[in-house]
Amino acid sequence: MRRSDYLIKRTGFAMATIFVAITLNFFLFRVLPGSAVTNIAHVPHASLQLQEALKHQFGLDRPIWVQYLRYLQQLAHGNLGISWADQQPVRTHLATNLANTVPMLALGTVVAMVAGIATGVLAAWRRGRAADYGHTGVALLFYSFPTQWLGLMLLILLASYLPAGGMSDPFLIEAGFWQRVADTTRHMLLPSLTVALTLYGGYALIVRSSMLETLGEDYVLTARAKGLPAKVVVRRHALRNAMLPTVTLMALSLGSIVGGFILVEVVFSWPGIGRATYEAVVQRDYPMLQGTFLVLTVSVVVFNLLADLLYFRLDPRVSE
C-alpha cells in the first residue's frame, strides 16, 4: 500500500468518526431529562414567561432537527455556542480551561510514559527475578488504585508540604513572572503526581508484556547468539517492535490530556476542562458539554491518526 493511499484512507476514517461523534454529541444531551431552564423553574419568582423567554433565547423551543442544523452551521464557522450558565462564549471558556489543564496533565503523562516504559523494559529483561516481581507488583498496585482514592491519599500524606488545591496562592500579590511560575508549578505537583501514578501502571504492564513477546522472537535470539551487548539487543532489536502496542496507549493518553482528568481536577480544585465538564453537567449547560466533548473527541481521533501514521513507519507489515 502506498503512503499516500494509506494517509487518505486513515484521514477519511478519522473525518467520518469525528462527524459521527459530533452527531451523537448533539443528540446525547437532548435525550436526557431537563435542561438549563429546568433549574430556573425552581427559583422563586421565576415566572412562566421568563422560562419561555429563556427557551426561545437558547433555541430550545425549535424542532430538534432545526437545532441540529443550526449547531452544524455554527461549528462550520468555528462557533461553539454560548454557555447557558454565564452567557459567555464556550470557545473562550475552553481556551482558558485548556491553558490550565494541558501543562498539568502533560507533566504527569510524560513522567508516566518515561517511568512506565523504563520499568516495563527492565522487568521484561529481568524476567523471573526480584526486579521483575518488584516492578510488576508496584505497577499492578498503582494500576488497580481508583484515581480519586489515590488523589485523596496523596492529599493526606503530602498536603502539609505542597499546596492542596487550586493553581495559585490567592495571597501572592504583586509577584513577578517567575514567582508566579514557581507558585503554579508547586500547585501542579500533587495533581500531576496523581496523573503520573494512575497512568504509570498501564504503561509498565503493557511494555513488559510486549517486550516479553518480542524477546522470544527469532531475530532477537539470533542477535543474542551473535554476542551483541544486551543494551544493543534491547534498544535496536526488541524495543522498536515492542513499542507498537505502546504507541496506541500513548495516543489515547495524549488525547485524554485535552479532555482533562475530571476526578483529579475535582479532588484538587484545579480550574481545568475536567472540572468545567463536571460543573456543566451539574448546571445542564449543553453548549459547554458539547464543546468539551467535541474537543476531547477531536483530540483523541487526531492522536490516534498520528499513531496510525507512526505504525506505518514502525511496522513494515502495514504497507504490505
Give pLDDT, residue 111.
92
Predicted confidence (pLDDT) at residue 154 exceeds the cutoff of 60? yes
- Residue-wise pLDDT tens digits, 141-151: 998 888 888 88
Q: Which residue has the higher pLDDT, 194 or 231?
A: 194
* Architecture (CATH level 2) of domain 95-319: Orthogonal Bundle (1.10)
Max mean pLDDT among 8-17, 167-176, 240-249 falls in: 8-17
| 32-41, 107-116, 162-171, 220-229: segment of lowest average pLDDT | 32-41
Q: Which residue has the higher pLDDT, 286 or 122?
A: 122
Rounded to the nearest 5 percent, the helix, strand and coil shares of the chain are 80, 0, 20
Grid cell for residue 18? 469525528
As a whole number, mean pLDDT of residues 121-139 equals: 86
Predicted confidence (pLDDT) at residue 96 exceeds the cutoff of 50? yes
| 53-57, 184-188, 282-286: segment of lowest average pLDDT | 53-57
As a whole number, mean pLDDT of residues 214-241 equals: 77
Is residue 122 within a helix (H) or strand (E), and if so which, with residue range?
helix 90-125
Ordered by start, the domain boundaries in the chain are 95-319
In this prediction the pTM is 0.77
- Residue-wise pLDDT tens digits, 28-75: 766 666 555 555 544 445 566 655 665 665 666 677 777 788 888 878
Give pLDDT, residue 40.
52
Task: Report the SS3 class of residue 32.
Answer: coil
Measuring CA to CA, how many Å separate 266 from each of 107, 133, 191, 292?
Answer: 18, 34, 10, 16
**Is the C-alpha dihedral spanning 218, 222, 225, 231 positive or negative?**
negative
